[in-house]
Structure 1
Amino acid sequence: MTESPSSSEGGGKSSLLSQLQHFNKKSLNKTDTAIKTEDGKIIREFRDDSGNCRTEVTNKKQYGFVPDVLMDFQVGEIRDNLIFGSQDVAAEWGILERYGVTHIVNIGTYVKNYFENKVKYLNVKVNDTPDTKVLGHFDRTFKFIDEGRQDGCVFIHCNAGVSRASAFTIGYLMKTENMTFKDAFAYVKSKRPSAKPNVGFVEQLTEYEKTLDLSKE
């Protein structure tokens, strides 16, 4: 005898209800979720053997930036005696020598001064986070850059050469060449397309513009 539709549907509902009643969440496959926070921490979310949700930080070093594992030797040539870029350039003497670098502004995190016997360094401790204050470092850094440009060539770098190094380069052009933030940003980006200060740095640079006596010509 052929089963009627109503009989078939009722059997399906009964079977599903039976499965739900005997369901055990411990039988599910365990899955992990990786979360990268704004300050570079990598947090792992998982369930333990009892089914409880747990979290742990998996990267031992607490970076103030998002690590970049790709090599980047592209140099942003701002002036004949002023360039900026990534930590990879900072470790390549051949590139630095080609530009005649005599001074380096190191804004990187966990990036050593590779050539202290050949180059004069200024280390600036700044994290690449929107709430980090950078304006307080400008005067000392810009003075160092001015002195370095008189002696040779200055290289400004952070880790990726994207946010911090570009923010300081933009600020320097605003201070020394009477540029607005918009013009300085556009110019720096034209020399190194990856340049992109984080939103907090952009806000500070916009405020910095208001403190400068910029020509309206």
Structure 2
Amino acid sequence: MTSTRGKRGLLDTRELERILDTCTLDLTPVDEVWPNLFIGNVAIAQNRTALKKLGVTHVLNAAHTKQGSIGDQDFYGEAFVYHGIAADDSSKFDLSVYFRTAADFIHKALKKKDGKVFVHCIMGVSRSSTLVLAYLMLKRRMRLRAGVETLVQRRAVYPNRNFLSQLLELDAQLQRKRRLCPIL
């Protein structure tokens, strides 16, 4: 089991699931989880009018090429910048290989004037929230526990146990690097 030592004791997948279980929100089609950063489902992703109403400029699809998930730059045209990741919501898929690419895409978009990012998978619960957590950790220097606590206050999210383990490993790596070089 992957774990990392946090300020309040041992952080592992069970502890993260306990935090996720504290969420009392109903699952909605889309929620703003960080300033100008939205997580939502595939129905919103396929509704360009709804995305325009939200002011979205960039779309990150964590279910690229999956059945029911239309998405490529041709579909979005010039109105949105698109990035797709063909991820499976499974106990075997290594989503961590996409953490930096996704975080870079989100970060670059949010730095643009009026940049707003919509991150989705099919339901907007597991893959998309995992990539948003990776962004918060990599670009906003947030610890995993704080990221999860932040998201559950804004959206009903629940990364699968495999993704939680990958996020725990990222959290541990980042903490080791920051101890060695505090300005990172």
On whether the aligned pair clears a TM of 0.5, the verdict is yes
- Which residue in 1 is equivalent to 2:166? 204
Are the equivalent residues in 2 in contact too, given 1:104–1:155 (CA < 8 A)? yes
- Say yes or no: does 1:85 pair with 2:40: yes
Following superposition, the deviation at residue 116 of structure 1 comes to 2.6
Q: What letter corresponds to residue 172 of structure 1 in structure 2?
A: Y
- Say yes or no: does 1:150 pair with 2:105: no
Flag the structure with more relative contact order, 1 or 2, with Cα contacts below 8 A and sequence separation at least 6.
Answer: 2
Moved more, 139-148 or 120-129: 139-148
Residue 168 of structure 1, aligned match among 105, 124, 131: 131
* Aligned 1:174-185 pairs, distance under 5 A: 174-185=137-148
Identity %: 27
- Which residue in 1 is equivalent to 2:93? 132
Following superposition, the deviation at residue 185 of structure 1 comes to 1.0
Q: CA–CA distance in 1 between the matches of 2:101 and 2:174?
A: 17
- Which residue in 2 is equivalent to 1:5? none
Question: Which structure has greater helix proportion?
Answer: 2
Q: CA–CA distance in 1 between the matches of 2:100 and 2:35?
A: 22
Q: What letter corresponds to residue 79 of structure 2 in structure 1?
A: K
Higher Cα Rg, which structure = 1
Gaps of 5+ in 1: 1-71
Q: CA–CA distance in 2 between the matches of 1:197 and 1:73?
A: 16
SS class of match (2:87): coil
SS class of match (2:57): strand
Q: What letter corresponds to residue 153 of structure 1 in structure 2?
A: K
- Say yes or no: does 1:112 pair with 2:70: yes
Are the equivalent residues in 2 in contact too, given 1:74–1:192 (CA < 8 A)? no
Are the equivalent residues in 2 in contact too, given 1:163–1:197 (CA < 8 A)? yes
SS class of match (1:94): helix
- Count of aligned pairs between the two proteins: 144
Deviations 1:9-51 (CA, angstroms, capped at 9, x unpaired): xxxxxxxxxxxxxxxxxxxxxxxxxxxxxxxxxxxxxxxxxxx
Are the equivalent residues in 2 in contact too, given 1:73–1:88 (CA < 8 A)? no
Q: What letter corresponds to residue 130 of structure 2 in structure 1?
A: A
Following superposition, the deviation at residue 209 of structure 1 comes to 0.2
Q: CA–CA distance in 2 between the matches of 1:122 and 1:135?
A: 16
Gaps of 5+ in 2: 1-26
Q: CA–CA distance in 1 between the matches of 2:118 and 2:137?
A: 18
* Aligned 1:11-22 pairs, distance under 5 A: none
